[in-house]
Amino acid sequence: MLSFSSKLAATLGAAALTIGITAPIATAAPAPAPQAAKPAISWEDCPEQVDIDSAECGRIEVPTYYDNPKAGTISVGFVRVPAANPGARRGALFTNPGGPSGDAYGWAGNTAVPWPQAVRDEWDTIGVQPRGLPGSTPVKCDASATSDPLQESFQVGKLTRDACEKHTPGYTNSLTTANTLQDWEMVRRALGEEKIDIAGTSYGTYLGSAYATKYPEHTGKVLLDSGMSPKLAWNGIFASQQRGYEKGLHDLFGFIAKNDAKYHLGTTPLQVYEKWSQKVAREAGVRPTVLPPNAKIGDLPLGLEFAGQPGADIMTATGPLRVQAEFLSQKIHNPNAVQAASPLLNMTRLLVVPTPSQWDAFAKHLNGSEPMDAEQADPDALQKQQESFAQAINMQNLIVCNENTVPGNPLLYPSYLWSNFVTADPFTQVNSLYGSGAGCGGRAPVTGQAPLDGSKLATKPLQIQATGDPQTPYQYHTSLSKPMQSHVVTVHGPGHAHFASQNKVVDDIGVHYLRTGEVTTTDAPGLI
């Protein structure tokens, strides 16, 4: 049965949000290190997304700005799951799920995340909640509203910052990787750990690398899973995801078509796409507009098989216009319909495409043989989830725009306007919002890239990178691996995030590295 719990959905969804060389912007002088004091921990009950009985949750007070301690303090929360086998304990493993708006509590402290048992047995697993999210001092934002449609369309960054500054004045500019890594350092000191190991996913690879660069003497092993490219941060990262997610969707439908004897949804990716599209249309009232897969000879209408591959190529070339025309035709008859209202469409984009471990269950849900758990959250819980999601989106915008060093591409404005104000296509909305530059419009960055340098680490990082990753595309991974001097293991297959994701081969590679510092291979199979 396909059962995406709200906890897992929140974790993966946050991780899914995610990620031109330009001249570097001027940056402020490096912030002085905080005083080598041991912050006091206030221990407290864990939030509801932590469901491991042994988990311990606490918080510390830290400077809002480490380079200006007089500017006040904020609270940073964390969860620690003690090693299940204390006699085999190897140390503390600091983790981050990505985003940058991923919930660290649910990532480190929830049973839905399939951490290798060896990790749970031998390390204290620690998630430091990023500043700006509930559990640490959260940003509080009004709904950004303006009577100026141009400002609403092209200055999203300014509107978001203004809406958040109203209730948390002077706080928004502190949401940077440089400050978040210092929060890690303060938690390390508070816990009394002389050295920490690191396991970062997606944006967490950047955060973990930045910490290791600044504090190599306190860093042991560094596992970088699905490394993001600092050179693309951030407009370029979102822009790179457009083709990545389209290809990932086609890989998903290719997997289902290859196993038609099991799923009975079609023998070509396009046939599966059409079955999926029909179900989305039944839920939303309009069909999806995401790019269809390439047509094959088997997709030609009856009587036109003689056209062969050239005929299929014509179908491929006209496919994008066809789905847009069909969407508009349905929209005319149902003007209030929004394709993003389809739960299936959103689940496909956020949870399924980047997570091959869910592909089999998803196919069974699509063909109706094993329906998704239809249990509905109560209204209060649903409202809370929506509020948390909105807060994560605002927090992500703040840190992305605070650190953005890549100019937007004006050629993407038509795609941004079309997808955000006409089609509401989840596969294109966010990517075009930032790729065009509108997402950070009206706001200048407050800092540049965090320094990255693995040369002083006693043990070089392990970096896991997949050839079919839709979120951190493989072709950009050297932007992280070169400065960090990582040992790169290439996962040959689709999906984003491969350690602690039910890929036993990758888990074994990661555990061996965390135990020994050794990397004995350069390749691993994908889960699919």
Amino acid at position 66, single letter:
Y
Find the range with the poorest average confidence among 89-93, 238-242, 302-306, 409-413: 302-306
**Does the structure show a pLDDT above 50 at 360?**
yes
**Dihedral sign of CA atoms 229, 235, 236, 238 in order:** positive
Given this model, what pLDDT does residue 180 score?
A: 98
Distance CA 241, CA 295 (A): 23
The predicted-structure confidence for 197-236, as pLDDT tens digits, reads as follows 999 999 999 999 999 999 999 999 999 999 999 999 999 9
CA 483 to chain centre: 22
Beta strands 487-494 and 219-225, pairing class: unpaired
Is 139 within 8 Å of 394 (Cβ atoms)? yes
Residues 6+ apart with CB under 8 A from 436: 408, 409, 410, 412, 413, 415, 416
Give the 3-state secondary structure of residue 132. strand
Q: How wide is the angle at C-alpha 88 spanned by C-alphas 98 and 462, nearest 5°? A: 35
Given this model, what pLDDT does residue 506 score?
A: 98
Distance CA 404, CA 157 (A): 11
Distance CA 460, CA 66 (A): 28
Distance CA 349, CA 518 (A): 35
Q: How many CA atoms lie within 13 A of 286 on its CB side?
A: 26
* 410, burial (CB in 10 Å: exposed 0-12, middle 13-18, buried 19+): exposed
Given this model, what pLDDT does residue 100 score?
A: 95
Give the 3-state secondary structure of residue 59. strand
**Start-to-end C-alpha separation, the chain:** 19
Given this model, what pLDDT does residue 6 score?
A: 38
The predicted-structure confidence for 289-330, as pLDDT tens digits, reads as follows 999 999 999 999 888 777 889 999 999 999 999 999 999 999
Reported as a pLDDT band with limits 50, 70 and 90, residue 27 is: very low
Given this model, what pLDDT does residue 147 score?
A: 59
Reported as a pLDDT band with limits 50, 70 and 90, residue 376 is: low
Nearest alpha carbon to residue 157 among 506, 420, 396, 413: 396
Give the 3-state secondary structure of residue 125. strand
**Does the structure show a pLDDT above 60 at 149?**
yes
Quote the pTM value. Answer: 0.92
The predicted-structure confidence for 420-441, as pLDDT tens digits, reads as follows 999 999 999 999 999 999 999 9
The predicted-structure confidence for 109-132, as pLDDT tens digits, reads as follows 999 999 999 999 999 999 999 999
**Does the structure show a pLDDT above 50 at 364?**
yes
Beta strands 123-128 and 73-81, pairing class: antiparallel
Higher pLDDT, 167 or 496: 496
Is 106 within 8 Å of 11 (Cβ atoms)? yes
Residue 218 phi/psi, 5-degree rounding, is -110, 10
Distance CA 459, CA 194 (A): 16
The predicted-structure confidence for 466-492, as pLDDT tens digits, reads as follows 999 999 999 999 999 999 999 999 999
Give the 3-state secondary structure of residue 310. helix
Distance CA 416, CA 154 (A): 10
Is 480 within 8 Å of 229 (Cβ atoms)? yes
Per-residue tokens: 241: 């995801």
Per-residue tokens: 327: 């969407």
Alpha-carbon torsion, ordered 151, 159, 210, 26, to 10 deg? 60
Is 473 within 8 Å of 79 (Cβ atoms)? no
Find the range with the poorest average confidence among 34-38, 155-159, 488-492, 514-518: 34-38
The predicted-structure confidence for 46-93, as pLDDT tens digits, reads as follows 999 999 999 999 999 999 999 999 999 999 999 999 999 999 999 999
